[in-house]
Structure 1
Amino acid sequence: MEVVDAIVLAFWVMLPAYVPNNAAVLAGGGRPIDGGRTWGGRRVLGDGKTWRGTLVGTLAGATLALVLSAVAGDVGSAVGVDLPTFPAPAVVALPLGAMLGDIGASFLKRRTGRERGAAFPGLDQLDFTVGALGVTLVAAPGWTTETFTLPVLAVIFVLTPLLHVTTNVGAYYLGLKSEPW
């Protein structure tokens, strides 16, 4: 697989996982998933993980996956790469997994004494990726192993941290986030 093809394919298949956290930030607010509960003297998740954000993020990613499936042939022809469509289980699994990965990272942050918004290098950049890939592997195993080949995974694990840092810094300067990570 050519490097450019792997980059295009990796970006394409991860878009439904890249969008949910951004949509959740824009939806913002609402009832926290942990309902304000604490564990070991610290919040379980914190105010930043809400039911509304999780729902809106998942719906935004699923909607994007459906749109991408509808245009895969035309876009693939235009860019010269065979782009896959998203089977129904992956339509939901990629964005939901991204949200669950982010929620899991919040849980780990609280357990390690980090407050909301505190940096956790590595985890902050890849939590949603690991969640998306894990949930999608369970929901659509054949599609996942066929689509996420080693070259595509390598691109994802290099591209994602770069995109994450860039979009978070941009959101910070636009006043959408209170910290640039």
Structure 2
Amino acid sequence: MDIFESVVVAFWVMLPAYVPNNVAVLAGGGKPIDGGRTWGGRRILGDGKTWRGTLFGTLVGAVLALVLSASAGEVGATLDVSLPTFPPAAVVALPLGAMLGDIGASFLKRRTGRQRGAAFPGLDQLDFAVGALLLTFLGAFDWAMDTFTLPVLAVVLVLTPILHVTTNVAAYWLGLKNEPW
């Protein structure tokens, strides 16, 4: 697999994990997952992690995975790249894992005394990708092993922070986020 194919495959398979958190921002609001509860004098997650955002983000990511699966042959032929389709377990695991990774990062931020929106370099850029990969390897192990080769994983680790920073700055400029990280 050459570098072009590794980049295309990495972006393709991670797209259902990249989209959910952005969608959750748009659909957010509603009841917080932690119900306002605290632990050790701090909120467990905070108001930014809602049931509606989590559900909507996961649903949109799953629908996107289905659309990508349906178009893999045509898009792959156009790009001259063999693009994988998504088995049912990966359809759910990638977006749900992304949302759970972000929720886990929020939990860690609260435990370290960071307020909602506070930067946590490294964690902010990779939490959702790590969550998506972990859940996908648990739920669709054989597919994940075949798809996330070392070159593809390397691209994911480089591409994800770049995309994360770029989309967050754009969302900030558009007034969708209160901070650019």
Shorter-chain TM-score tier: over 0.9
Q: Secondary structure at the match of 1:165?
A: helix
Structure 2 residue identity aligned to 1:159: L
Aligned to 2:127: 127
Q: How many residues are matched?
A: 181
- Provide the C-alpha distance between the structure 2 equivalents of 1:83 and 1:123, rounded to a whole number of angstroms: 29
Which residue in the other structure is 1:55 paired with? 55
Partner residue of 2:69?
A: 69
Aligned mates of 1:145, 1:37 — CA distance in 2: 39
The percentage of counterpart residues that share the same residue type is 78
Question: Could you say which residue in structure 1 is the equivalent of 2:43?
Answer: 43
Deviation at residue 176 of structure 1 after TM alignment: 0.2
Residue pairs, 1:98-177, within 5 angstroms? 98-177=98-177
Measured in 2, the distance between the counterparts of 1:63 and 1:26 equals: 17
Cα distance in 1 for partners of 2:142, 2:156 equals 19
Provide the rounded CA distance (Å) in 1 between the counterparts of 2:4 and 2:67: 23
TM-score by length of 1: 1.00
Cα displacement (A) at 1:28: 1.2
Q: Distance in 1 between matches of 2:9 and 2:81?
A: 8
| Unmatched runs of 5 consecutive residues or more in structure 1 | none
Q: Which amino acid aligns with 2:177?
A: K
Tell me the alpha carbon deviations over residues 104-123 of structure 1, each in whole angstroms, 9 at most, x when there is no partner.
00000000000000000000
Which string of whole-angstrom CA distances, capped at 9 and with x for unpartnered residues, describes residues 7-30 of structure 1? 000000000000000010000100
Amino acid paired to 2:116? R
Give the aligned partner of residue 14 of structure 2: 14
Deviation of 1:68 (Å): 0.2
Q: How many Å separate the matches in 1 of 2:173 and 2:74?
A: 35
- The runs of at least 4 aligned residues of structure 1 exceeding 4 Å deviation read none
Paired with 2:100 and 2:161, the residues of 1 have a C-alpha distance of: 18
1:25 equivalent in structure 2: 25
